Homo-oligomer: A and B are copies of this chain.
Amino acid sequence: MKNRKTREAIVSAADTLFYERGFEATSFADIAAAVEISRGNFYYHFKTKDEILSAVIAKRIEDRRAMLAKWGEALAPRDRILRFIEILITNQSKIMTFGCPVGTLATELSKLAHPAQPDANQIFSVFRDWLRLQFEELGCGGRSDDLAMHLLMRSQGIATLAAAYKDEAFIRREAADMTGWLQSQLDPSKASPRPSH
Protein backbone atom coordinates (compact mmCIF):
# COMPACT_ATOMS: atom_id res chain seq x y z
CA MET A 1 0.00 0.00 0.00
CA LYS A 2 1.19 3.41 -0.99
CA ASN A 3 -1.00 4.67 1.80
CA ARG A 4 1.41 3.91 4.60
CA LYS A 5 4.43 5.17 2.76
CA THR A 6 2.91 8.59 2.05
CA ARG A 7 1.51 8.78 5.55
CA GLU A 8 4.87 8.03 7.07
CA ALA A 9 6.54 10.58 4.81
CA ILE A 10 4.05 13.20 5.99
CA VAL A 11 4.57 12.37 9.66
CA SER A 12 8.31 12.34 9.25
CA ALA A 13 8.35 15.72 7.50
CA ALA A 14 5.95 17.17 10.06
CA ASP A 15 8.15 15.80 12.84
CA THR A 16 11.15 17.63 11.44
CA LEU A 17 9.28 20.86 10.75
CA PHE A 18 7.56 20.91 14.14
CA TYR A 19 10.99 20.55 15.67
CA GLU A 20 12.77 23.13 13.57
CA ARG A 21 10.06 25.78 13.29
CA GLY A 22 7.56 24.87 15.96
CA PHE A 23 4.05 23.47 15.69
CA GLU A 24 2.14 26.69 15.15
CA ALA A 25 4.63 28.18 12.75
CA THR A 26 4.35 25.12 10.49
CA SER A 27 1.45 25.15 8.05
CA PHE A 28 -0.27 22.45 6.05
CA ALA A 29 1.33 23.90 2.94
CA ASP A 30 4.80 23.71 4.50
CA ILE A 31 4.47 20.02 5.22
CA ALA A 32 2.87 19.25 1.86
CA ALA A 33 5.68 21.09 0.12
CA ALA A 34 8.32 19.20 2.10
CA VAL A 35 6.78 15.86 1.08
CA GLU A 36 6.07 17.17 -2.41
CA ILE A 37 2.43 16.23 -2.41
CA SER A 38 -0.67 18.32 -2.95
CA ARG A 39 -2.73 19.71 -0.12
CA GLY A 40 -5.58 17.56 -1.29
CA ASN A 41 -3.56 14.43 -0.87
CA PHE A 42 -2.50 15.71 2.48
CA TYR A 43 -6.11 16.13 3.54
CA TYR A 44 -6.80 12.59 2.49
CA HIS A 45 -4.40 11.34 5.14
CA PHE A 46 -4.97 13.91 7.89
CA LYS A 47 -8.18 15.83 8.33
CA THR A 48 -6.92 18.32 10.91
CA LYS A 49 -3.65 19.74 12.14
CA ASP A 50 -4.22 18.15 15.50
CA GLU A 51 -4.37 14.75 13.84
CA ILE A 52 -0.87 15.27 12.45
CA LEU A 53 0.31 16.46 15.82
CA SER A 54 -1.01 13.30 17.44
CA ALA A 55 0.73 11.18 14.83
CA VAL A 56 3.99 13.08 15.31
CA ILE A 57 3.83 12.69 19.08
CA ALA A 58 3.10 8.97 18.70
CA LYS A 59 6.06 8.63 16.38
CA ARG A 60 8.34 10.47 18.76
CA ILE A 61 7.29 8.25 21.63
CA GLU A 62 7.84 5.16 19.52
CA ASP A 63 11.23 6.37 18.27
CA ARG A 64 12.48 7.07 21.77
CA ARG A 65 11.18 3.80 23.13
CA ALA A 66 12.99 1.96 20.36
CA MET A 67 16.21 3.83 21.06
CA LEU A 68 16.06 3.10 24.77
CA ALA A 69 15.18 -0.51 24.15
CA LYS A 70 18.32 -0.85 22.02
CA TRP A 71 20.43 0.56 24.81
CA GLY A 72 18.78 -1.83 27.21
CA GLU A 73 20.04 -4.80 25.23
CA ALA A 74 23.64 -3.77 24.94
CA LEU A 75 24.51 -1.77 28.02
CA ALA A 76 24.65 -1.99 31.78
CA PRO A 77 22.29 0.38 33.67
CA ARG A 78 25.07 2.78 34.55
CA ASP A 79 26.25 2.98 30.94
CA ARG A 80 22.69 3.45 29.78
CA ILE A 81 22.41 6.58 31.86
CA LEU A 82 25.76 7.76 30.57
CA ARG A 83 24.49 7.22 27.07
CA PHE A 84 21.50 9.38 27.91
CA ILE A 85 23.85 12.17 28.95
CA GLU A 86 25.81 11.69 25.75
CA ILE A 87 22.76 12.58 23.67
CA LEU A 88 23.61 16.18 24.45
CA ILE A 89 26.98 15.77 22.78
CA THR A 90 25.73 13.64 19.91
CA ASN A 91 22.95 16.02 19.00
CA GLN A 92 24.95 19.09 19.86
CA SER A 93 24.49 21.03 16.66
CA LYS A 94 20.77 20.38 16.39
CA ILE A 95 20.26 21.27 20.02
CA MET A 96 22.19 24.49 19.61
CA THR A 97 19.98 25.42 16.68
CA PHE A 98 16.54 24.18 17.69
CA GLY A 99 16.72 23.21 21.35
CA CYS A 100 15.41 19.94 22.72
CA PRO A 101 12.62 18.43 20.60
CA VAL A 102 10.87 17.11 23.67
CA GLY A 103 11.06 20.23 25.80
CA THR A 104 10.28 22.79 23.13
CA LEU A 105 7.17 20.98 21.96
CA ALA A 106 5.90 20.51 25.50
CA THR A 107 6.49 24.18 26.24
CA GLU A 108 4.77 25.37 23.08
CA LEU A 109 1.71 23.20 23.58
CA SER A 110 1.55 24.29 27.18
CA LYS A 111 1.37 27.95 26.15
CA LEU A 112 -1.24 27.22 23.51
CA ALA A 113 -3.23 25.33 26.14
CA HIS A 114 -3.40 22.65 23.49
CA PRO A 115 -5.41 19.50 24.25
CA ALA A 116 -2.46 17.35 23.16
CA GLN A 117 -0.23 18.71 25.90
CA PRO A 118 -0.58 15.61 28.09
CA ASP A 119 0.42 13.48 25.12
CA ALA A 120 3.52 15.61 24.58
CA ASN A 121 4.39 15.14 28.23
CA GLN A 122 4.31 11.42 27.64
CA ILE A 123 7.48 11.83 25.59
CA PHE A 124 9.07 13.30 28.70
CA SER A 125 7.75 10.41 30.71
CA VAL A 126 9.29 7.85 28.38
CA PHE A 127 12.67 9.14 29.50
CA ARG A 128 11.60 9.76 33.07
CA ASP A 129 10.26 6.27 33.57
CA TRP A 130 13.21 4.69 31.81
CA LEU A 131 15.72 6.66 33.87
CA ARG A 132 13.88 5.81 37.06
CA LEU A 133 14.10 2.15 36.14
CA GLN A 134 17.86 2.39 35.62
CA PHE A 135 18.32 4.03 39.00
CA GLU A 136 16.17 1.39 40.60
CA GLU A 137 18.31 -1.31 39.06
CA LEU A 138 21.30 0.48 40.49
CA GLY A 139 19.79 0.27 43.94
CA CYS A 140 18.66 3.85 44.39
CA GLY A 141 15.27 2.76 45.62
CA GLY A 142 12.85 5.54 46.50
CA ARG A 143 15.21 8.22 45.29
CA SER A 144 15.09 6.88 41.74
CA ASP A 145 12.31 9.08 40.41
CA ASP A 146 13.84 12.20 41.93
CA LEU A 147 17.17 11.35 40.37
CA ALA A 148 15.49 10.76 37.02
CA MET A 149 13.79 14.14 37.21
CA HIS A 150 17.07 15.74 38.16
CA LEU A 151 18.74 14.39 35.04
CA LEU A 152 15.84 15.45 32.87
CA MET A 153 15.97 18.87 34.46
CA ARG A 154 19.63 19.27 33.64
CA SER A 155 19.14 18.14 30.06
CA GLN A 156 16.39 20.66 29.56
CA GLY A 157 18.36 23.48 31.11
CA ILE A 158 21.43 22.69 29.07
CA ALA A 159 19.41 22.50 25.86
CA THR A 160 17.69 25.80 26.52
CA LEU A 161 20.89 27.70 27.23
CA ALA A 162 22.78 25.95 24.45
CA ALA A 163 20.14 27.09 21.98
CA ALA A 164 20.32 30.64 23.30
CA TYR A 165 24.08 31.00 23.43
CA LYS A 166 25.15 28.41 20.83
CA ASP A 167 27.99 27.52 23.14
CA GLU A 168 29.59 24.13 22.46
CA ALA A 169 32.00 24.36 25.36
CA PHE A 170 29.10 24.95 27.72
CA ILE A 171 27.40 21.75 26.61
CA ARG A 172 30.54 19.70 27.01
CA ARG A 173 31.29 21.20 30.41
CA GLU A 174 27.80 20.60 31.74
CA ALA A 175 27.64 17.10 30.28
CA ALA A 176 30.85 16.33 32.13
CA ASP A 177 29.43 17.85 35.30
CA MET A 178 26.33 15.71 34.90
CA THR A 179 28.52 12.63 34.65
CA GLY A 180 30.32 13.69 37.80
CA TRP A 181 27.03 14.18 39.54
CA LEU A 182 25.91 10.73 38.46
CA GLN A 183 29.00 9.14 39.92
CA SER A 184 28.59 11.04 43.18
CA GLN A 185 25.06 9.72 43.43
CA LEU A 186 25.90 6.12 42.63
CA ASP A 187 29.13 6.06 44.59
CA PRO A 188 28.89 8.64 47.35
CA SER A 189 32.17 7.68 49.04
CA LYS A 190 34.32 8.74 46.11
CA ALA A 191 32.38 11.90 45.42
CA SER A 192 34.16 15.18 45.03
CA PRO A 193 32.21 18.29 45.97
CA ARG A 194 33.51 20.11 42.92
CA PRO A 195 33.19 17.65 40.04
CA SER A 196 34.31 19.89 37.24
CA HIS A 197 34.05 23.52 38.22
Contacts and interface: CB of A to CB of B under 8 A. Distances in A.
A159 to B, nearest CB: 8
Given A108-B22, A161-B156, A149 B124 contact: no
Main DSSP-derived SS at the A contact region = helix
Interface string A67-110: 00000000000000000000000000000011100011011101
Contacts of A22: 24, 108, 111-112
A21 B157 contact: no
Interface residues of A, number: 47
A163 B160 CA distance: 14
Copies in the complex: 2
Given A185-B197, A188-B193, A193-B193, A163 B106 contact: yes
Interface string A125-147: 00000000000000000010011
20 contacts: A22-B108, A24-B24, A24-B25, A25-B112, A99-B107, A99-B110, A103-B160, A104-B111, A106-B163, A107-B107, A121-B164, A124-B164, A146-B173, A149-B170, A150-B174, A150-B177, A153-B161, A160-B160, A184-B193, A184-B194
Interface of A: 20-22, 24-25, 97-99, 103-104, 106-108, 110-112, 120-121, 124, 143, 146-147, 149-150, 152-158, 160-161, 163-165, 170, 173-174, 177, 184-185, 188, 191, 193-194, 197
